[in-house]
Structure 1
């Protein structure tokens, strides 16, 4: 069963990392500054695409943001697309102002 682990770094970007059967199959790279979590990149192993792994990473990030009362700046094309398609789900955490800076 797939699981998402949080890998927080003091220096440089952090990541939500996706593991299945002990192997890392993907990650969502982000950074936190102040009250904003900026998502830069989401990547899934090409052989594992289409299994819902990116959505697992997205769900983990959204849960983390809501728990810590943060806003998201979705610079990652995948996250930005999901936020645009499902604004009713993510509008409360989407920092559109900072995204356009």
Structure 2
């Protein structure tokens, strides 16, 4: 991830039971949740603890979630405004919508 002040080498996991991609930094967990609708993933919420804001954690989670969708040939519905904004700023993900 090449954003300003970004966290490097985040360990992002796919928590399939809770339908979300998550990472824990300094005991704080951030995540992007989704609804699986077969060939489409609806990304409905991004949560980054206040202590981790501004460090690129949310962007890293979203990038990971979008890369997952691409790798699994799924379309994306960016219901979460943060996900929609990320896609707007990164046109290489427009094809997923």
**Runs of 4+ in structure 1 over 3 Å off:** none
Alignment RMSD: 1.5
Aligned residues: 89
Structure-1-length-normalised TM-score? 0.80
Match of 2:76 among 72, 76, 83: 72
If you compute each CA radius of gyration, which structure gives the higher value, 1 or 2?
1
Q: Where do 5+ consecutive residues of structure 2 fail to align?
A: 1-8
Report the counterpart of residue 23 of structure 2 in structure 1.
18
Q: 2:41 aligns with which of 37, 40, 47?
A: 37
- Higher RCO structure, 1 or 2 (CA under 8 Å, sep 6+): 2
Which has the larger share of strand? 1
